[in-house]
Amino acid sequence: MSFNKQLPSGTVLAPFLFTLYTADFSHSTSSCHLQKFSDDSAAVGLITDGDYTEYRELTQDFVDWSLQNNLQINAGKTKEVVVDFRRRDTPPPAPVNILGTDVDVVESYKYLCVHLNNNPDWSHNTDALVKKGNSRLFLLRRLRSFGVQGPLLRTFCDSVVGSAIFCGIVCWSSSITDRDRKRMDRLVRRASSVLGCPLDLVEVLGNGRMMAKLSSMLNNTYIDSALRSAGGGSCRDNKEQQEQLVIWSIFCPVGQKTRLDLDLF
């Protein structure tokens, strides 16, 4: 398959071809993982006892592989977020260097529409959602002032307002602070008053979507076959494996966790 012209931005074919082009590079161990979504890649490493060896080797291997395959990592857009769970004060690690450029270490970074910070307490993500939700609520009120009512107004609320407020809710709904939850619920109540009908609050909607996601994972044939190959039989028939899958999807080991986002162009 060959193309003599650049694919238009925003097409479905472009990210598919890029994913196919970069599919042969992967890395996944208990302490280091490379997550790829189209041209947004994230290297996640669990650092134990100050050993950065695997994490730095993964980063360098990915840089070398990119150059060998006519790709270049945009070091200027690449950011590093360090989440340190240790109680004692320790000096920060040396920054990752990509092609002679030190990667900036930031407190928060937006990855796939979710703001991740170094606490992590989802405060930056909540601030961004509240700000975007307020602007979308203004549009909802304006639409109602023009006489739009009923199902059409509800459809606009679900597609425009709800998509902004509840973006990535499966990730953060069970982990945000009570203060941030009240801020999000306040947005939902304001949208409910404009519609004139009750809407599910953040906790209810988050639990519902989380259970739907877990159900789809348990019924996923790829996950089921992976568990079979591990020597445990079917995921649907083994309650112990279902519990294990849920536990590993919620908890993570305690240590120093480093996340590095790599942007390709």
Return the bridge partners of 83, or none. 257
Report d(CA 149, CA 144) in Å as an integer: 6
Residue in 208, 141, 199, 147 with CA at minimum distance from that of residue 174? 208
The confidence score (pLDDT) of residue 249 equals 42
Cα atoms in the 13 Å half-sphere on the side-chain side of 165: 30
| Extended strands (E) in the chain | 32-37, 40-47, 79-84, 97-98, 101-102, 104-105, 108-111, 114-117, 256-263
Kindly give the confidence (pLDDT) of every residue in the chain, 265 residues in length, as a single tens digit, with 9 standing for 90 and above: 554 556 666 677 777 777 787 888 888 888 888 888 877 888 888 888 878 888 888 888 888 988 888 888 888 888 888 888 777 777 777 888 888 888 888 888 888 888 988 887 889 999 999 999 999 999 999 999 998 888 999 999 999 999 999 998 988 988 889 999 999 999 999 999 999 889 999 999 989 998 888 888 777 776 666 556 555 555 455 555 444 444 444 433 334 445 455 554 4
Give the tokens for residue 21: 């082009």
pLDDT of residue 126: 93
> CA-CA distance, 5 to 31, in Å (whole number)?
40
Which one, of 50, 109, 49, 99, lies nearest residue 260 by Cα?
A: 109
User: 125 to each of 8, 29, 71, 181, 242, how far by Cα in Å?
Assistant: 31, 28, 31, 12, 30
Amino acid at 212: A
Q: Note the pLDDT of residue 184.
A: 94
- Give the residue extent of every domain in the chain: 13-119+244-255, 122-222
Dmax (CA) of the chain: 63
Q: What is the pLDDT of residue 247?
A: 42
Cβ neighbours of residue 165 closer than 8 Å, sequence gap 6 or more: 129, 132, 133, 136, 184, 187, 188, 191
pLDDT value, residue 129:
94
Task: List CB contacts of 103: < 8 A, sequence separation 6 or more.
Answer: 75, 78, 79, 80, 95, 96, 97, 260
